Amino acid sequence: MQTGILLALFLMINFLSFSATAASNPIYKSIDEKGVVTYSDQPNAQAEAVILPKENISKRPINSANTTNATDAASTDKREEYTAFSISSPKDQDTFQNPTEISVSVSITPALQKGDTIEFYLDGTSVASSSTTTSISIPKVRNNTAVITRGSHTLSAAILNAAGEKLMTTPSITIFVHYTSVAMHSHHFSRKT
């Protein structure tokens, strides 16, 4: 045990003597003919002594668990009201020809807040689970069921809080979907001779 104490004492004395020596030794600055600045503890003919500023040491504040929890609770409770929420793409009255999917994007001001999600609707029916993404792709077919059919459709989206309550809904937009229909006719071509 005494060996451990002696070793610790020896290390502490060496550390303190090194610190005192380093603090008392001058530092020199020199600039060569190319303008390169060099700092050293060995002076040369062009060197000038540099007076170093006092060490910049600051103590880290001690955070207690109560202070951290209070700060976290305050930041969680602080919510901004949404001021704008709209579908940015597609535009109202857009027409789609033979789409395999339709991408829908929304813009929100301020940005989506922690705990809130967005749900997208096609003709008033949710087309995907609510999530934090601001854009989705609605497929033409999902699980062997047509999702995007020929004709007019409405698109909208809603911001939901953690309890699933609607906080804000976009104005609905109308889109039109056209699919090419090719009628097969059998024609007999006769050659006139």
List the chain domain ranges.
Answer: 1-52, 84-178
Q: Which residues contact 127 (CB under 8 A, 6 or more apart)?
A: 120, 121, 136, 138, 147
Mean per-residue pLDDT pooled into runs of 10, the chain (193 residues) = 63 57 70 78 80 64 50 59 96 94 95 96 94 94 90 96 95 94 57 53
CATH architecture of 84-178: Sandwich (2.60)
- Measure the CA dihedral 157/162/163/167, to 10°: -40
Rounded Cα distance between 112 and 109, Å, is: 8
Span 110-153, pLDDT tens digits:
999 999 999 999 999 999 999 999 999 999 998 888 889 999 99
Q: Determine if the pTM surpasses 0.75.
A: no
Tokens (6 digits) for 105: 């994007």
